[in-house]
Amino acid sequence: MEIEIKFRVDFNEIRKKIENLGARLIREEVQEDLYFSVPLPRLLRIRHVINLGEVILGYKEIQDEKNEEFEEIEVKIEDFEKMKEILTRLGFGEDVWVKKHRLVYKLNEVTFELNKVENLGDFLDIEVIGEDVEEAKGKIWEIAQKLGLKDSDVESRLYQELMREKREATLR
């Protein structure tokens, strides 16, 4: 199971703190995610990692009310547009696009995904893969505290929800 907590951060400030912890930069990604309209707690997206030439079909199922625990299935695919057409023909409507510049760091079993999200701001997802949810959250919070992050920095809404809220606010 994927356990992650998302924090609102200052990109450059938190980047330095992550590097000072000894985490190593694994990769840099420029992502465009197209989310489809499916009822929560399910998420369906196609991710195009532009700078790496990867396209990934992803399905997530949220396991908790705080959007911190997920069952996730991902598969690499060859063609973004063809996958989009297949999903559209199957009746899945497009919901929102989420565009990000992401730096991925690793420190032991902890993954840091530092994101600059277009039109939303800067976020840090701290992630641990495991079956013991409480143990994983304990590791995440131990690291978060070392980075100076607090409960008030947590953003429990999904990127998809934040983009939808932003879209609706501009229509008013």
In DSSP notation, 68-124 reads -EEEEEEEEES-HHHHHHHHHHTTPPEEEEEEEEEEEEEETTEEEEEEEETTTEEEE
Average pLDDT of the chain to the nearest whole number: 96
Examine the pLDDT at 172 and tell me if it is beyond 80: no
Residue 141, pLDDT score: 98
**Judging by beta carbons within 10 Å of its beta carbon (0-12, 13-18, 19+), is residue 67 exposed, middle or buried?**
buried
Specify the pTM: 0.94
Residue 41, pLDDT score: 95
CB atoms inside a 10 Å sphere around CB 131: 8
Examine the pLDDT at 170 and tell me if it is beyond 90: no
Confidence of residue 169 (pLDDT cuts 50, 70, 90): confident
- Looking at residue 137, the DSSP 8-state letter turns out to be H
The domain segmentation of the chain, as residue ranges, is 2-171
CA 53 to chain centre: 19
In CATH, 2-171 is 3.10.20.30 = no
Examine the pLDDT at 132 and tell me if it is beyond 90: yes
Q: At 107, phi and psi to the nearest 5?
A: -140, 105
Examine the pLDDT at 152 and tell me if it is beyond 80: yes
Residue 7, pLDDT score: 98
Residue 57, pLDDT score: 98
Q: What mean pLDDT is predicted for residues 78-92?
A: 98
**Residue 32 amino acid letter:** E
CB atoms inside a 10 Å sphere around CB 166: 12
Q: What mean pLDDT is predicted for residues 1-6?
A: 96
Q: Residue 13 has which token pair?
A: 């400030």
Confidence of residue 150 (pLDDT cuts 50, 70, 90): very high
Q: What mean pLDDT is predicted for residues 158-170?
A: 92
Examine the pLDDT at 145 and tell me if it is beyond 80: yes
Confidence of residue 171 (pLDDT cuts 50, 70, 90): confident
Q: Residue 73 has which token pair?
A: 């299935």
Q: Is 37 helix (H, G, I), strand (E, B) or coil?
A: coil
Cβ atoms 67, 156 nearer than 8 A: yes
Examine the pLDDT at 45 and tell me if it is beyond 80: yes
Percent of the chain predicted with pLDDT > 90: 95
Examine the pLDDT at 158 and tell me if it is beyond 80: yes
